[in-house]
């Protein structure tokens, strides 16, 4: 009996030590590689080449904008391709953030851990290096903000977007665009053309190129809440835009200021 007890105790000790070592190892991997749970260099079926984008979204020179190709090396060995665009007189044209569009965004990484992996809540202070506290940042923003929220988001709880909208109390113009059947990655598809035109109207308004439709008109695109925020409906506004195709978001007169005129090859 004594030998059996001693053997069982030994096996139990080995099991406990092995389980602890496995847990520590998994937590160590999570600590080191947690970025890989958030960043995906490529997605199946989506091209990495901008040359395969639709016309108007391939490179800035399509709008007569001078640019430089920049390749940013990252610690994980991935190179990010970016475009560096500078105004001819940069000292006289400061960078101005005219507005912000937030789509299916979380409150923070910590809040997402509680939602997706609640069993990690007890060790978050030890292993969680990323935070990205949007709920801490957004109350300080004064810019116009458009919140695009898929009501069937299967990844980020819809309540996160609702709370971010409620926290943006300093924004001079809050808009709420709900997508009734939108999930995390398909709001643009579920919302149809109305989705794109809501974005277009917001951008036009943010850069001061058009007057937003009045909420008092019969054919309005917004209705206002008691707190001064607005909800964008799917009704088409009398905005003078062609609603038969997706609008070009970069077609802004203010963005053409101080740009060289685009020269077509057939004109040379």
pTM: 0.66
Q: Is there a single domain that holds both residue 130 and residue 217? A: yes
Q: Which of 20-24, 110-114, 169-173 has the least mean pLDDT?
A: 20-24
C-alpha 119 chain-centroid distance: 26
10 compared with 61, residue with greater pLDDT: 61
> Pick from 262, 256, 268: which is nearest to 93 by CA?
256
Count of residues in the chain = 268
Residues 6+ apart with CB under 8 A from 161: 102, 104, 105, 147, 149, 153
Domain that holds residue 49: 41-86
Q: Is there a single domain that holds both residue 190 and residue 231? A: yes
CATH of residue 227: 3.40.50
Helices then strands, counting H and E runs in the chain, come out as: 7, 7
CA distance linking residue 57 with residue 7, whole number of Å: 69
Collapse the DSSP code of 180 into the 3-class scheme (helix H, G, I; strand E, B; otherwise coil) and give the result: coil
Q: Is there a single domain that holds both residue 21 and residue 51? A: no
Q: Is there a single domain that holds both residue 50 and residue 30? A: no
Question: Is 265 within a domain?
Answer: no
CB 207 within 8 A of CB 201: no
Q: Is there a single domain that holds both residue 31 and residue 45? A: no
- Give Cα separations from 124 to 37, 79, 107, 129, 164 (angstroms): 15, 30, 16, 9, 22
Q: Is there a single domain that holds both residue 177 and residue 72? A: no
Q: Which residue has the tokens 């299916």?
A: 104
Q: Is there a single domain that holds both residue 74 and residue 108? A: no
Q: Is there a single domain that holds both residue 125 and residue 26? A: no
Q: Is there a single domain that holds both residue 78 and residue 168? A: no
What is the pLDDT, as a whole number, of residue 90?
Answer: 73
Binning pLDDT at 50, 70 and 90, where does residue 212 land?
very low
Q: Is there a single domain that holds both residue 57 and residue 137? A: no
Q: Is there a single domain that holds both residue 140 and residue 212? A: yes
Q: Which of 93-97, 210-214, 216-220 has the least mean pLDDT?
A: 216-220
CA distance linking residue 139 with residue 158, whole number of Å: 19
Taking only the tens place, the pLDDT of each residue in 132-152 is 899 999 999 999 999 999 999
Question: Is 140 within a domain?
Answer: yes
Question: Is 267 within a domain?
Answer: no
Share of the chain above pLDDT 70, in %: 73
- As for how many domains the chain has, the answer is 3
pLDDT above 80 for 38: no
Q: Is there a single domain that holds both residue 74 and residue 110? A: no
What is the pLDDT, as a whole number, of residue 249?
Answer: 61
pLDDT above 90 for 104: yes
What is the pLDDT, as a whole number, of residue 247?
Answer: 64
């Amino acid at each position: 009996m004594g030998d059996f007890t001693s053997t069982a105790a030994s096996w139990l000790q080995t099991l406990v030590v092995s389980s602890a070592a496995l847990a520590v190892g998994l937590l160590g991997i999570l600590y080191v590689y947690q970025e890989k749970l958030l960043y995906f260099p490529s997605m199946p079926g989506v091209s990495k080449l901008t040359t395969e984008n639709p016309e108007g979204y391939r490179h800035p020179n399509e709008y007569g904008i001078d640019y430089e190709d920049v390749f940013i090396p990252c610690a994980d060995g991935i190179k990010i391709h970016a475009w560096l665009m500078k105004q001819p007189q940069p000292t006289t044209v400061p960078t101005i953030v005219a507005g912000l569009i937030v789509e299916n965004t979380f409150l923070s990484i910590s809040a997402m851990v509680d939602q997706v992996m609640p069993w990690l809540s007890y060790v978050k202070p030890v292993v969680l290096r990323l935070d990205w506290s949007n709920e801490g940042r957004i109350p300080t923003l004064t810019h116009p903000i458009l919140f695009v929220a898929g009501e069937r988001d299967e990844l980020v709880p819809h309540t996160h977007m609702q709370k971010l909208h409620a926290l943006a109390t300093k924004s001079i113009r809050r808009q709420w665009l709900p997508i009734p059947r939108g999930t995390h990655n398909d709001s643009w598809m579920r919302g149809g053309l109305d989705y794109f035109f809501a974005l277009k109207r917001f951008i036009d308004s943010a850069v001061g190129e058009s007057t937003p439709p009045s909420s008092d008109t019969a054919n309005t695109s917004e209705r206002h809440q008691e707190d001064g925020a607005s909800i964008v409906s799917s009704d088409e506004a009398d905005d003078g835009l062609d609603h038969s195709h997706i609008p070009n978001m970069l077609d802004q007169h203010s963005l053409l200021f101080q740009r060289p005129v685009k020269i077509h090859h057939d004109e040379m």
